[in-house]
Amino acid sequence: MSSSRGEGGVSDLDLVVRAPRAITPQGERAVVLGVSGGRIAVLADADDPAAAGLTAPRVLDLAADEVLLPGLVDAHVHVNEPGRTEWEGFDSATRAAALGGVTTVVDMPLNSVPPTTTVAGLRAKHEAARGRVHVDTGFWGGAVPGNTGELAGLVAAGVFGAKCFTAPSGVPEFEHVDAAQLREALAELHRLGSVLLVHAEDPGVLADAEGSAHAEDADPRHFATFLATRPAAAEDAAVAMVVAAARATGGRVHVVHLASAGALPLVAAAQAQGVAVTAETCPHYLVLDADAVPAGATEFKCCPPVRDARTREALWRGLRDGVLGSVVSDHSPCTPDLKDPATGDFTTAWGGIASVQLGLPVLWTAARARGVPLADVVGWTATATAARLGLGGRKGSLVVGADADLAVLAPEEEFVVDPAALAHRHPVTPYAGARLRGVVRSTWLRGAPVDGRTPRGQLLHAAGGLA
């Protein structure tokens, strides 16, 4: 039996969980897990004789159809508070996260006002979030033209890194960087021991493609019209620029929400050469098909866009090959009117998919159909993301010493997505009416259930403490 002793040892457990199935670093197995002081103090095989005698004031016996998972880690969530709280907020976003088995989120630096491009902006985030988050919450800083001097203060104040855009972000207060500005920010973050996240699309390629949306025969209600304005070539060109910057500076870069099959060989080659480049993708790129998007269904719009089925399958191969290391939601909600539902105009609607509550069942449904084991899904949505954030051993894995962040999943139970049952602020989703597998029956944060009423989440500092 593996256990921690001393303060918070096996003799004073607060919770014992008996799970016929659990996803651990050693694979799926039956375990008994003991929690003390909010951390995993015991993790034993269920047939270990010593495990039978473990007791605690609270005992959770999982049903035969349930699997114990580590709480998921979603490092790409747009909360939008303060400043655009009518779009989303810390209370609603983190309640939705918990209902989806997510116990740690990292908030993106834009769409809030002020953006998290200064220490003052970060403090405004802390003030808005403190006492209102239902799961543990960290923060990304932002890299924009002219704020390189702010990055040291942001890193010292606890951000997990900084994000930039190489093309217009969609909001005026978060400007995009050019190649020289990107290298400047990357070099500074490298000096600080931090990482640069990049929304990688080339503005020149986008500008050249923009005319297609205004062609005489182009119908703005057709997804293909919008898709032509955001070609995969824009991602490929920007990823090549990012790789070159990482190679030149030695800095760490992470490409967010990668949606282009053509960029995968660029990332793979850089990784093989030892360049510090990682990349993520999102459930919508792994599930949706551009050719199947209904006319006027602007809830499907995001940037970069969902592409065709061939691209989707290439992204699955990128995950299985390890080129793509993690899957995150890119939860990016807005008020329903910004989706232009009255006109169904893809060229003017806000681009973003709100899915933090649905990421696990959406991904698991597609993975199961492809014969991908649940352990791989947990690796992409919890373990690998936590490790990339520097939280490995504390978040994202069922290991002794980690926070007792848990999700209880019934992987074979089916449900139909009802937008009214979603906890994020506005019931807008491209998954409405979809039949999915995988019901999250309960979520636990540091050994206590998340009830959606009492916010118990903590604000995280990248150095491992609290913000």
Residues 217 and 277 in one domain: yes
Task: Tell me: do 12 and 137 sit in the same domain.
Answer: no
Domain membership flag for residue 453:
no
Gap between the Cα atoms of 180 and 452, Å rounded = 45
21 and 96 fall within a common domain: no
- Are residue 8 and residue 98 in the same domain, yes or no? no
Answer for the pair 163, 198: CB distance below 8 angstroms, yes or no: yes
| The predicted structure's pLDDT at residue 52 | 86
Out of 19, 41, 64, a domain closes at 64
- Considering the domain architecture, whether residues 43 and 78 belong to the same structural domain is answered as no
Cβ-in-10-Å burial (0-12, 13-18, 19+) of 416 comes to exposed
DSSP designation for 50: G
Q: Which residues contact 382 (CB under 8 A, 6 or more apart)?
A: 69, 70, 71, 72, 73, 395, 396, 397
Per-residue model confidence as pLDDT tens digits over 331-381: 999 999 999 999 999 999 999 999 999 999 999 999 999 999 999 999 999
Average pLDDT over the chain, rounded to an integer? 95
pLDDT tens across 281-332, in order?
999 999 999 999 999 999 999 999 999 999 999 999 999 999 999 999 999 9
Band (pLDDT 50/70/90 cuts) for residue 3 is very low
Confidence of residue 58 (pLDDT cuts 50, 70, 90): very high
Q: 210-227: per-residue pLDDT in tens?
A: 876 666 678 999 999 999
Last residue of a domain, one of 12, 46, 64: 64
Task: State which residues form the domain around 10.
Answer: 2-64
Residue with tokens 């949306």: 213
Mark which of 44, 64, 84 sits at the end of a domain.
64
In the structure encoding, which two tokens stand for residue 401, read together?
């010493």
All residues at 6 or more sequence positions from 210 whose CB lies less than 8 Å from its CB, including other chains: 229
H/E run at residue 308:
none
pLDDT over 90 (residue 4): no
pLDDT at 1 over 70: no
| CB-based contact 21:65 (threshold 8 Å) | no
Q: Is residue 59 domain-shared with residue 78, that is, in the same domain? A: no
Given a cut of 90, whether residue 9 has pLDDT beyond it is no
User: Which residues, other chains included, contact 324 with Cβ-Cβ below 8 Å and sequence gap of 6+?
Assistant: 258, 264, 267, 279, 280, 281, 315, 318
53 and 183 both lie in a single domain: no
CATH number reported for the structural domain that contains residue 7 in this entry: 2.30.40.10
Query: Does residue 445 register a pLDDT over 60?
Result: yes
3-class SS at 458?
coil
Check whether residue 189 and residue 40 sit in a common domain: no
State the pLDDT at residue 401: 97
pLDDT at position 211, please?
A: 72
Say yes or no: 7 and 124 in one domain: no
Query: Does residue 55 sit in the same domain as residue 89?
Result: no
Contact 335, 89 (CB under 8 A): no
Residues 294 and 340 in one domain: yes
More confident site: 52 or 54 = 54
3-state secondary structure of 35: strand
Q: How many angstroms separate the CA atoms of 431 and 422, rounded?
A: 11
d(CA 33, CA 201): 45
Query: How many structural domains does the chain have?
Result: 2
463 falls within a domain = no
In a domain, 156, yes or no: yes
Q: DSSP assignment of 346-414, as one string?
A: TTTS---B--TTTHHHHHHHHHHHTT--HHHHHIIIIIHHHHHTT-BTTBSS--TTSB--EEEEEEEEE
Tell whether 15 and 80 lie within a shared domain. no
CATH code for position 276: 3.20.20.140
